[in-house]
């Protein structure tokens, strides 16, 4: 059972802390004023307790002083009676009374001392909270500025990360563009090579200007078994006789 009790307390503290952080982030001005108001409320309670403790000490102190003064007065009276033997009975009664007063005097002094100690403790706490209240606004304003600065640094870091991400994307895009250009250039080179080969083929297959020479043409016809065309009248008549 103790485990679950402590677990519940811790969870409640965690929830309270998270809610406090959310409130500060959502409304730092309101959270600041609320924190100062909380300190001021504690100060007011302590200050009131100190006032009551001071009154209690004053009462106990007066009672202790009063009984001490009465004791001293009776003691002086006993010393006065001691000088007169005829007053022995009165002296004996007074001494007995003084002896009975001693425990009361000790008690009153102790109560006054306790009241004084408690009052002093509260006075110290009141002074601490007074100083805390005086510096609270400055401290909380400084904390608020630090929080704002931290938020600014966070935003800058996020912007920097986003810029790095964009730069990485740009680098990837440049790499893709470079790859595409390489493919285009490769295709262009292949096309140029194919065109060059086709041109060379056409050049090699088409008749050369040398074949326009009659002698070269006659030689090529002779080696191919093709009779040369008759050019002179004799050759022409000879060709007619072959029919």
pLDDT digits (tens, 9 = 90+) for 99-153: 999 999 999 999 999 999 999 999 999 998 888 888 877 777 777 787 777 878 8
215 pLDDT tier (thresholds 50, 70, 90):
low
Give yes or no for a contact between 147 and 50, defined as CB atoms under 8 angstroms apart. Answer: no
pLDDT digits (tens, 9 = 90+) for 40-50: 888 899 999 99
Nearest one of 118, 135, 113 to 51, comparing CA atoms: 118
Q: Which CATH architecture has domain 18-141?
A: Orthogonal Bundle (1.10)
Tokens linked to 86: 């005829």
Give yes or no for residue 98 having a pLDDT over 50.
yes
The Cα–Cα gap between 74 and 71 comes to: 5
Q: Please, what is the angle between helix 2-26 and helix 28-82, to 10°? A: 120
Highest mean pLDDT among 23-27, 138-142, 165-169, 212-216 belongs to 138-142
Domain ranges across the chain: 18-141
DSSP string, 45-96: HHHHHHHHHHHHHHHHHHHHHHHHHHHHHHHHHHHHHHT-GGGHHHHHHHHH
**Residue owning tokens 């001494």:** 95
105: which residues sit within 8 A by CB, 6+ positions away?
Answer: 64, 67, 68, 71
């Amino acid at each position: 059972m103790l485990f679950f009790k402590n677990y519940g307390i811790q969870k409640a503290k965690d929830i309270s802390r998270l809610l406090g952080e959310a409130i500060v982030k959502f409304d730092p001005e309101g959270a600041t004023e609320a924190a100062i108001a909380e300190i001021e409320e504690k100060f007011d309670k302590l200050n009131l307790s100190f006032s009551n403790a001071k009154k209690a000490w004053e009462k106990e102190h007066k009672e202790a002083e009063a009984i001490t003064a009465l004791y001293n007065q009776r003691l002086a009276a006993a010393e006065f009676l001691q000088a007169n033997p005829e007053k022995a009975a009165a002296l004996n009664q007074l001494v007995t009374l003084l002896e009975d007063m001693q425990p009361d005097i000790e008690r009153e002094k102790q109560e006054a001392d306790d009241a004084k100690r408690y009052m002093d403790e509260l006075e110290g706490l009141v002074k601490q909270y007074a100083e805390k209240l005086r510096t609270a606004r400055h401290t909380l304003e400084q904390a608020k500025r630090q929080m704002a600065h931290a938020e600014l640094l966070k935003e800058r870091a996020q912007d920097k990360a986003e810029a790095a991400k964009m730069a990485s994307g740009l680098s990837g895009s440049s790499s893709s563009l470079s790859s595409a250009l390489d493919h285009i250039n490769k295709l262009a080179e292949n096309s140029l090579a194919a065109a060059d080969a086709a041109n060379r083929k056409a050049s090699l297959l088409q008749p050369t200007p040398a074949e326009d020479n009659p002698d070269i043409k006659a030689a090529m016809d002779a080696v191919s078994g093709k009779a040369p065309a008759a050019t002179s009248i004799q050759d022409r008549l000879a060709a007619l006789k072959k029919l």
